[in-house]
Amino acid sequence: MMAILIRRILSLVVTLLVVSLLIFTVMDLLPGDPAAIMLGTSASPETLAALQHQLGLDQPLPVRYLAWLVGVLRGDLGQSYTYGVPVAGLIVERLAVTLPLALMAVVLSVLIAVPLGVQAARRHNGLFDVVAGMFSYVSIAVPAFWGGLLLIILFSTMLGWMPAGGFPGWEAGLLPALKSLVLPAVALALPQAGVLTRVARAAVLDVMNEDFVRTARAKGLSERIAVWRHAVPNALIPVVTMLGLQFTFLIAGAVLVENVFNLPGLGRLAYQALAQRDIIVMQDVVLFFSALVILMNFIVDLAYLAIDPRLRAGAQ
Amino acid sequence: MSRAFRRPIFLAGLLITLALVAVALLSLVWTPFLPSKMNIVHKLKAPLEYGLLGTDQFGRDILSMLMVGAWNSLSTSILAVLLGAGIGTAVGLLVAMRRGWTELVVMRGCDIIFAVPPILSAMMLAAFIGSGRFTAIIAIAVFMVPVFARLVLSAALQIWTRDYVMAAIGIGRSKARITLVHVLPNISSQIIVQVTIQLGLAILTEAGLSFLGLGMPPPAPTWGRMLADAQTFLGQAPWLALMPGMAIALAVLGLNMLGDGLRDILDPRDNS
């Protein structure tokens, strides 16, 4: 168990290092000088040279990478060019919106998908199965940002129940802040729920034919108990895996949904940084998101070990 | 039983996809109006009030824009997926042939590329080379490479253990030849299924990029930008936000159904 853990952690560190190197090199290899892009066309050569020096662009690539990496490890992600504040602070500030949004979406998608998938599997090929199948087809096909627009039309413009966008900040109180995250979270959760429903259904169908479920039923446990106590916990493994695999799409969705709902989250930060040519902020946010995805996959790997007794036994 | 049960999905997917392709091709030779023709007098008209589906804030015909949007969206997505599938397949085949440390390196590389969502890589690209169709295609294609590399590798590795491949090795066939003659044809159906499904994802991504202004520049109509424009007029003309979204959803739905249907028909193993 310990050996596996150490090996996974080592591999995690190597992957993170390679990602950081890759992002840094790609940004460097792309045509265009960050300083020139940030300043626009009207800048004087002196200003340009000064900014290049300030950004360390007059140093060779390995030196710059190492300086950046050391900074990142110390929590210093550099200064935002447009905001004039440390990027680390910006990210933390914006994370206070994106993290709750993503969490709400994940919880919501699981709460929709698992019962739906389990029921669909129990009523295999029945009416419920067909309806659940249609739900997952449609919700996967509807882009989160369009779903968001539809929710705004329905719940804000027509019914007036929910704010159409914006974020009052956590200091405005828990309820108003959460309320402004509800519609975005639903928009973000639905496509995920579609994918997870399919996974949950397939997993329960697989598990229901296995010996231990048949034994449980033969013992005289009702079908409902056999399913929820034995089939569902085992079916959760693929659901958790899929959650990890889908994390990239959750982030992509968050970038879009934050823009639809005007939420001051990380995705919107990256988008604004692009509009303002704030290369450092973009580089850091992309690194942060990528690291998050990799970390997520790592956690899923660990969750695997925790959930699946066979893997745990095999590891000992 | 389940095979017959799922056939309607294949048929529905095929019909939707064919309709989409037909509309896209038709837009090359005919649209009801010129999609770029502005007609301010008739701006923000509701469906049937002016033209079949109404007009946008410049009085442009929505139906015509949707039709050209179908071509723009489909052509961008097809190019991106073919590029990504081509490179990914080549990488997967090569790694399956060589194994060893290349497998480790390539698979780790796939994990890493997969960690950067196409929306973000498109943003990085856009900062340096500007936004546009090229940026969108590259960003989507890069993301597709690991998808196909992983799929092809795992499928190809299975083929490499088959008896007829052993026999081919036994009579001294080169690895490259075995790859082309035995491995690739035997995994081609899986690749085709994956191309269909990834096309749906590519259309979703392209729409998202266009929505953010990272896709094809105006005046070329795209479904994503039509939605972005519609958001400004949600109060006055909410119907503007309906049609482009329906187009995206229908296109993705059709391709996903077609992909699933193809998988059922081409891959008899997965019959549960």
Judge whether B250 is closer than 8 Å to chain A, CB to CB: yes
Nearest to B191 by CA among B160, B144, B152: B152
Lowest model confidence (mean pLDDT) among A5-9, B77-81, B196-200 = A5-9
Rounded Cα gap, residues A2 and A11, in angstroms: 14
CA distance A146 to chain B (A): 6
Judge whether B132 is closer than 8 Å to chain A, CB to CB: no
Amino acid at A14: V
B241 interaction partners in chain A (CB closer than 8 Å): 146, 149-150, 153
Handedness of CA B6, B8, B14, B17 (dihedral sign): negative
Percent residues over pLDDT 70 in chain B: 96
Amino acid at B80: A
Listed in sequence order, the residues at least 6 apart from B192 whose beta carbon sits closer than 8 Å to its beta carbon are B262, B266
B248 interaction partners in chain A (CB closer than 8 Å): 141-143, 146
Judge whether B107 is closer than 8 Å to chain A, CB to CB: no
Amino acid at A202: A
Neighbours of A286 (CB within 10 A): 23
As given in the structure block, the two tokens for residue B80 are 């991106």
CA distance B9 to chain A (A): 10
A14 interaction partners in chain B (CB closer than 8 Å): 108
Span A242-297, pLDDT tens digits: 888 888 888 889 999 999 999 999 999 988 888 877 878 888 888 888 888 888 88
Q: B253 and A290: CB-CB below 8 Å?
A: no
Q: How many CB pairs under 8 A join A and B?
A: 144
- Three-state DSSP class for residue A79: strand
Numbered ranges of CATH 1.10.3720.10 in chain A? 91-315
pLDDT(A142) > 90: yes
A271 interaction partners in chain B (CB closer than 8 Å): 123, 212
> What would the DSSP string read from start to end of A129-150?
HHHHHHHHHHHHHS-HHHHHHH
B272 DSSP 8-state letter = -
Judge whether B112 is closer than 8 Å to chain A, CB to CB: yes
B236 DSSP 8-state letter = T
Nearest to B2 by CA among A199, A135, A133: A133
Domains of chain B are 2-25+74-266 (1.10.3720.10)
**CATH homologous superfamily of A91-315:** MetI-like (1.10.3720.10)
Percent residues over pLDDT 90 in chain A: 29
CA distance A28 to chain B (A): 10
Span A178-212, pLDDT tens digits: 999 999 999 999 999 999 999 999 988 888 777 77
Span A86-97, pLDDT tens digits: 888 999 999 999
Rounded Cα gap, residues A94 and A263, in angstroms: 9
Q: A31 and B129: CB-CB below 8 Å?
A: yes
B204 interaction partners in chain A (CB closer than 8 Å): 141, 143
pLDDT(A1) > 70: no
Of B208, B256, B272, the CB nearest to A256: B208
Q: A15 and B5: CB-CB below 8 Å?
A: no
Choose the most confident range, by mean pLDDT, from A26-35, A275-284, A305-314, B196-205: B196-205
Q: Each residue of B17-43: b (16+ CB within 10 Å) or e?
A: beebbebbeebeeebebebeeebeebb
A248 interaction partners in chain B (CB closer than 8 Å): 114-117
Span B67-89, pLDDT tens digits: 999 999 999 999 999 999 999 99
Rounded Cα gap, residues A72 and A66, in angstroms: 10
Q: What is the pLDDT of residue A315?
A: 44
Span A55-88, pLDDT tens digits: 777 778 888 888 888 888 888 888 887 787 888 8
Rounded Cα gap, residues B156 and B204, in angstroms: 29
Is A293 in contact with B115 (CB distance < 8 Å)?
Answer: yes
A141 interaction partners in chain B (CB closer than 8 Å): 200, 204, 248-250, 252-253, 256
| Residue B37 vs residues A34, A249, B29, B62, B64: alpha-carbon distances, Å | 38, 36, 16, 11, 10
As given in the structure block, the two tokens for residue A307 are 């959930």
Residue of B nearest to A145 (CA): B208
Q: What is the pLDDT of residue B258?
A: 94
A123 DSSP 8-state letter = T
Q: A143 and B117: CB-CB below 8 Å?
A: no
- Three-state DSSP class for residue A86: strand
A123 interaction partners in chain B (CB closer than 8 Å): none
Higher-pLDDT residue of A187, B42: A187
Nearest to A202 by CA among A141, A302, A129, A109: A129
pLDDT(B271) > 50: no
Q: Which among B119, B134, B144, B250 is the top mutation candidate for probing chain A, defined by the most A β-carbons within 10 Å of its own β-carbon?
A: B119
Cis peptide before B117 (omega within 30 of 0): no
